[in-house]
Amino acid sequence: MRFSLLKTVQTTVSPSRTLLFFSTVIVAIWGTTQLPAQEKSAKTYTPDHETRSVEFHVRDEHGKPLEGAKLFANLVYLDSSKNTKISNSNLVTNSTGIAKYKHPRHATGLRLWVSKPDFVPEFVDFDKDPQGEVTKIPDSFEFQLARGTKLSGIVVDESGKPIPNVTVSVSTHGKEPVWSAVPKPMMSLNTEAVTDKAGKWHITTAPVKPTGDDFQFRLKFTHPDYISDAKWSELQTQQNVTTTMLRDGSAKVVMHQGHAVKGTVLNTAGDPVTKGIIVWHDEPYFGSTVHEVEINEQGHFKTIPLPPGKHPITVVTPGFQPTRQIVDVTKSMDDLTFTMKPGKTLTLKIVDLSGKPVPKAHVSLRGWRGAESLYNWRHSNVLNSRIPTRANENGIYIWDWAPDDGVTYLISARSFASKEVTLAARETAHVIKLDQPLIATGKVTDAQTGKPVENFRVIPVIEFRPEFLSTSFQDTVPGKEGLYQIMLNGGMRDRRHLIRIEADGYQSAISKNSFGLGEGPVTQDFSLKPAKPRTGRVVDGSGKPVSGATVVAGTPSIVPIMQNNELDWSGIPLKTSSDGYFQIAATFEPTRIRVLHETGFAEAVRQPDEDIGTITIKPWSRISGRLFQAGKPVPNQLILFKTVQDRKLGEPRFQDSFHTQTDAEGRFEFKRLPPVAGAVQAYLGPWEDSPLTSSQSFPLDLQPGDHKIITLGETGATLKGTVVATGRGEVELNKNWSLNYLIRRDGGIPLPNDFPKLSFDPKGPVQPAWALDPNFYSWLKTHQYYFVKLAPEGQLQIGGVPPGDYDLVLRLYEQPAGCLVETIGTKVVSVNVTSDDIKSGTKDLGAIEVPCRVGPRVGQYMTSYKFTDTTGREHSIYDMKGRYVLMQVWASWCIPCLKSMPDIKATAAQLADKPITFVGLNIDKRPADAEILVEKNHWNWAQNYLGAQSDMARQLAISSVPIYYLIGPDGRLAASTNEWPEMKEKIEVALKPEQ
């Protein structure tokens, strides 16, 4: 099996905007089955040294040659200078079903798509094996295409009138085959149809319905005059278009009229600006449809129809500073007018550590004002922004129409480690020093003989933080004759890495220390302990060997990510032999061994020197049920099964996800679940809109072979009430941002035997302090409970609550931009639901008052707050009379906090001569974690480490991070917000000279 980083790269885009290929993300996208953009409008690169020829045979299901089949070949290879190159070729089979293909000797990967009308397309990938060796491209390879079948439907407008010329994109793919020396093709459908005058469309290349579960087809609808899908399956999911409907032709999709945004772009003299683009998406490069339009010769523009609501509009015009604003799109909105200011000059001088210029360095824009709408990609995914992309021969990069605030740049050059910086334009050049790549070399010897180990594998291990490790098997390199060399920071520049060594016949090893960029060349030797592979055997309940079972091992440093019992990322899957045996390499770590087979599941933990022995699989468990709200089934809702036991960092573990979706009648099913304790619940949270107001969690102690049938939210009374935040005066609180639980006191399932010891006695009524226990939420999964989503004004509605005694736990937060930290108000209310409540159908809890803290508000004096400056001297806000003070609350584990840090640094540098002082307030429990980040990233403004429970943190009523407080020269709070771009604008306005 091959894995990719596709969780962070979206690959299914509009007809001319498919998979993204550029040298800096080849590793990230390798392994996907989606067809690259070059098939549509590709520049074909001529490979160097065409020394090998391959014959591809294409036949039908009966073995008959298929003439006229199309093959698209995507090749990655090394040229004579060992530069990575990409070659794309379009081939067609001849009358004997053969297409001949030449490729260079130094190929590092080859992907092929084959298609023919009325046949199901296929895909094959000649890539690295799980040990990092490149699969040999054979001299001959055969595809056998199955006859396709029909999918069809109709597209209409809101009045039911057919819409012609709608592009309907259809995508699905088969299960990826287990890796083998000779890769096996897999089904990969990615095609389009266009509706006719009657609004009807069809394709004939869909796979036939298999025995058991059908394929899940993803659709995308695009039309220039209607609101199109912004992402795959959007309209399909909203309107509950099922596979059954697609197969019987009854699939109907309604497209709605949107509102195009129109306007004019002018310069400061009032003349039209005639070159440039308008962007209405914050990540247009990764979007699934068109998100930009050119400005015409009169300075006018018009977007595609957009849905009502707020949309970001970015204007990018050569010669002028880019601008971005949020526009509320309505039917009656006026045309927009943008007046563009002259651009600023940003100059980068890119050099190596000795100061020597780095010629032709690539400069890529990665972020601006919290978005990626300002870009300089040169790709068919987006329009050309005309922003420069490279430095010149002297390492000088000039962008003479840059904005006057910070932009994040990724700077990369061959033989150097790439570097990300956030900078603002200024009169003098920014000098960017590129580090050498973090190269590790060393010797690997036999611990007994001292002789070099002949063949071994070197694998980088990412260290997110101590004990939080991830082994990057996709970046494995081979070692020979006791010597190795590996680049450690190829994928994640800002992370430290360890080195892992594996060799057949030896126990694996890992470096004691981790290494980071800038630490120079690393020399790390290893002495491997000889050890035989560890052999285990898988049998069923009767002792019969199980053949063809998948075996996956998890350790503290190898954490396989599993989606519905299938390996999604990390780890190496193995198969049991005909007599049930398997082998895993000897390791220095404890190992959790998981066995998966169509007949059952097993898991066992073994210590490094412990025999694996015989592992007995147990039959799968199964759950089916229905989801209700207010007596009606709820379609298209995500249903989760969560195991009670969450393995901790430093333990051998897996990262599991079990999920399914309700159908049109609210039905759902988990056909294969491990027989463990867990809970079933519909997904519901405060961060996304949902038709649900509450979500029942049902605990189950699954036993082998169980089939549990449950209903969620159907039987019982509906609890209603209103939560009122007290103690806040006139300050409003959006109560949508809360975590609330109605917990049943009795029943539930027992805790697993190895469950960690709780800090509280769970026998009595729930207490607010219980939530502080790190195992509280795992304990909660053993009880029947309801997650309760409050309306912004505090109304609650909990459906399907049977008679019994409950505790309603209310936990209120300020509206976050990033990570929740601490409640501003907590209350537990005892609730007794009686049979009379069931008869009446409703129980009114009335108004529930929750005492809440309130942090500083605009206009309030902040003069008593103190901080320490960069020299260690303590100040109060009172001491800063005449200056603004920006207090920025952050945490090292808060991704939005870290994302904004480079721009805060750039802004602080830009405003160094202005009357403003920047003060960081860190709330990490372990200040050392934050101090390391501050030192490493040169966040050189005043940093104060408050800790999680400091008096200042409580006085500020910090409920979420990040949060920013701008204090005026008079000592009063001038502004506060969770959003850095918003605070940045407020700072600009505050410091702007009076006209």
How confident is the model over 449-496, as pLDDT tens digits?
Answer: 999 999 999 999 999 888 889 998 888 899 999 999 998 876 666 788
Residue type, 484: Y
The whole-chain average pLDDT of the chain stands at 89
> For the chain, how many structural domains are there in total?
6
The rounded distance, in Å, linking the Cα atoms of 427 and 237 is 52
> 36-40, 211-215, 226-230, 486-490 — which is least confidently predicted?
36-40
Q: Of 199-203, 774-778, 871-875, which one has max mean pLDDT?
A: 199-203
First-residue to last-residue Cα distance in the chain: 65
pLDDT of 646 reads 87
Assess whether 690 and 808 both reside in one domain: yes
Sequential DSSP letters for 306-343? B-SEEEEEEEE-TTB--EEEEEEE-TTPPPEEEEEPBP
pLDDT at 492: 63
Please tell me whether residues 606 and 569 are part of one structural domain. yes
- pLDDT at position 7: 25
Lowest mean pLDDT among 21-30, 164-173, 192-201, 649-658: 21-30
Task: Give backbone dihedrals phi and psi of 769, rounded to 5 degrees, phi first.
Answer: -70, -20
User: For residue range 665-697, what is the model confidence (pLDDT) as tens digits?
Assistant: 999 999 999 999 999 999 998 877 899 999 999
Looking at the structure, tell me whether residues 875 and 982 fall in a common domain.
yes
- Find the CATH number of the domain harbouring 556: 2.60.40.1120
- Band the pLDDT of 61: cuts 50, 70, 90: very high
- Shared domain for 26 and 121, answered yes or no, is yes
Amino acid at 343: G
Distance CA 566, CA 581 (A): 21
C-alpha distances in angstroms, 186 versus 204, 876, 970, 984?
18, 66, 68, 50
In a domain, 256, yes or no: no
What are the CA-CA distances from residue 27 to residues 4, 85, 277, 447 (Å)?
A: 7, 13, 31, 34
**In the predicted model, is pLDDT for residue 19 greater than 50?**
no
Angstrom distance (rounded) from CA 851 to CA 709: 41
Whether residues 114 and 11 share a domain: the answer is yes
Has residue 39 got a pLDDT over 70?
no
- Predicted local confidence at residue 180, as pLDDT: 65
Predicted pLDDT at 174: 81
Q: How many Cβ atoms are within 10 Å of 449's Cβ, its own excluded?
A: 9
Query: Rg of the chain's alpha carbons, rounded to an integer?
Result: 30
E strands, 116-259, where? Answer: 122-126, 140-145, 149-156, 167-173, 186-194, 200-206, 218-222, 251-254
Residue 616, strand partner residues: 539
Within 8 A by CB and 6+ apart from 732, the residues are none
Show Cβ contacts of residue 592 under 8 Å, excluding neighbours closer than 6 positions: 553, 554, 555, 603, 604, 605, 647, 651, 652, 653, 654
Sign, Cα dihedral of 725, 731, 732, 738: negative
Give every CB contact of residue 107 below 8 A, 6+ residues apart in sequence. 75, 76, 77, 134, 137
Checking if the pLDDT of 510 tops 70, the result is yes
Q: Which has more confidence, 36 or 334?
A: 334
Same domain, 398 and 353: yes
For residue 866, give the 3-state DSSP assignment.
Answer: strand
Q: What is the mean pLDDT of residues 923-950?
A: 87
Q: What's the CA gap between 670 and 640, in Å, rounded?
A: 9
Q: Alpha-carbon distance 743 to 764, whole Å? A: 12
User: Is residue 138 within a helix (H) or strand (E), and if so which, with residue range?
Assistant: none
Round to whole Å and give the CA distance between 660 and 666.
11
- Give me the residues paired with residue 740 across strands: 788
Sign of CA dihedral 987, 990, 993, 995: positive
Find all residues with CB under 8 Å of 539, minimum gap 6, and list them. 545, 546, 580, 614, 615, 616, 617
The mean pLDDT of 80-106, rounded to a whole number, is 86
**pLDDT class for 600, splitting at 50, 70, 90?**
very high
Q: Work out the burial of residue 317: count CB atoms within 10 Å of its CB; fewer than 13 is exposed, 13-18 middle, 19 or more buried.
A: buried
Q: Is the pLDDT of residue 626 over 50?
A: yes
**3-state secondary structure at position 645:** coil
Identify whether residues 489 and 465 lie together within a single domain. yes
622 in a structural domain: no
Question: What are 842's strand-pairing partners?
Answer: 718
Whether 412 and 482 share a structural domain? no
In a domain, 636, yes or no: no
Nearest Cα to 963, choosing from 822, 810, 811?
Answer: 822
User: Domain boundary residue among 147, 182, 199?
Assistant: 147
What are the residues whose beta carbons fall under 8 Å from the beta carbon of 274, sequence distance 6 or more? 295, 296, 297, 298, 299
- Do 756 and 843 lie in one domain? The reply is yes
Residue 518: CB atoms within 10 Å: 13
pLDDT over 90 (residue 529): yes
**Is residue 76, in this structure, part of any structural domain at all?**
yes
Point out the least confidently predicted range of 9-18, 224-233, 705-714, 744-753. 9-18
Residue 190: closest CA among 172, 175, 204, 207: 172
DSSP tag of 768: G
Work out the percent of the chain whose per-residue pLDDT is above 70: 92
- Poorest-pLDDT segment among 2-16, 444-458, 580-594, 745-759: 2-16
Is a pLDDT exceeding 70 seen at residue 49? no
**Per-position b or e across 58-68, b if 16+ CB within 10 A of its CB:** bbbeeeeebee
Same domain for 695 and 837, yes or no, is: yes
- Report whether pLDDT(20) > 50: no
- Is residue 276 a part of any domain in this protein? no
416 located within any domain: yes
Residue 26 has pLDDT above 70, yes or no: no
pLDDT band at 818 (very low <50, low <70, confident <90, very high): confident
Quick check: is 291 in a domain? no
Supply the pLDDT for residue 38. 37
Residue 970 sits in a domain of what CATH number? 3.40.30.10
pLDDT of residue 128: 54
595, 602 contact by CB (below 8 A): yes
Residue at a domain's end among 500, 528, 556: 528
Task: Give SS3 for 984.
Answer: helix
**Domain ranges, residue 873:** 866-991
Residue 682, burial from CB neighbour count under 10 angstroms (0-12, 13-18, 19+): buried
pLDDT in tens, 234-244: 999 889 898 99
What proportion of the chain, given as a percentage, has pLDDT over 90? 69
Helix, strand, coil shares, percent, the chain, to 5:
10, 45, 50
Asked whether the beta carbons of 133 and 480 are under 8 A apart, the reply is: no
3-state secondary structure of 647: coil
**Average pLDDT value for residue range 830-844:** 95
Amino acid present at 739: L
Nearest to 809, CA basis, from 869, 861, 745 = 745
What is the per-residue pLDDT across 736-795, written as a single tens digit (0 to 9) for each? 999 999 999 998 999 988 898 999 988 879 999 998 898 999 999 999 999 999 999 999
Which region among 133-142, 590-599, 651-660 has the lowest average model confidence (pLDDT)?
Answer: 133-142
How far apart CA 329 and CA 309 sit, in angstroms, is: 5
- State the Cα–Cα distance between residues 186 and 123, nearest whole angstrom: 5
Residues 444, 523 within the same domain: yes
In a domain, 398, yes or no: yes
Place of tokens 């206009």: 859
Interior angle at CA 529, CA 526 and CA 535, nearest 5: 130
**What is residue 135's predicted lDDT score, i.e. its pLDDT?**
55
In sequence order, the 6+-apart residues with CB closer than 8 A to the CB of 102 are 47, 50, 52, 53, 54
β-bridge mates for residue 111, sequence order:
74, 125
- Give φ, ψ of 368 to 5 degrees: -160, 125
Identify the pLDDT of residue 464: 86
CB 811 within 8 A of CB 826: yes
Residue written as token pair 């002018």: 266
Answer whether 37's CB lies under 8 Å from 21's CB. Answer: yes
Predicted confidence at residue 75, as pLDDT, reads 87
Using one digit for the tens of pLDDT, what is the confidence trace for 366-409? 999 889 999 999 988 899 999 999 999 999 999 999 999 999 99
Sequence-ordered list of residues with C-beta below 8 angstroms from that of 211, at least 6 positions apart, any chain: none
Q: Residue 586 and residue 610: Cα distance in Å, rounded?
A: 10
Q: Which residues contact 776 (CB under 8 A, 6 or more apart)?
A: 758, 770
The burial class, CB within 10 Å (0-12 / 13-18 / 19+), for 24 is: exposed
Chain segment 131-140, per-residue pLDDT in tens: 444 457 888 9
For residue 81, is pLDDT > 80? no
Choose among 607, 592, 609: nearest CA to 553. 592
Is 60 exceeded by the pLDDT of residue 427? yes
Last residue of one domain, picked from the residues 616, 646, 662: 616
Between residues 107 and 203, the one the model is more confident about: 203
d(CA 36, CA 171): 14
pLDDT score at 265: 98
Are residues 506 and 592 both part of a single domain? Answer: no
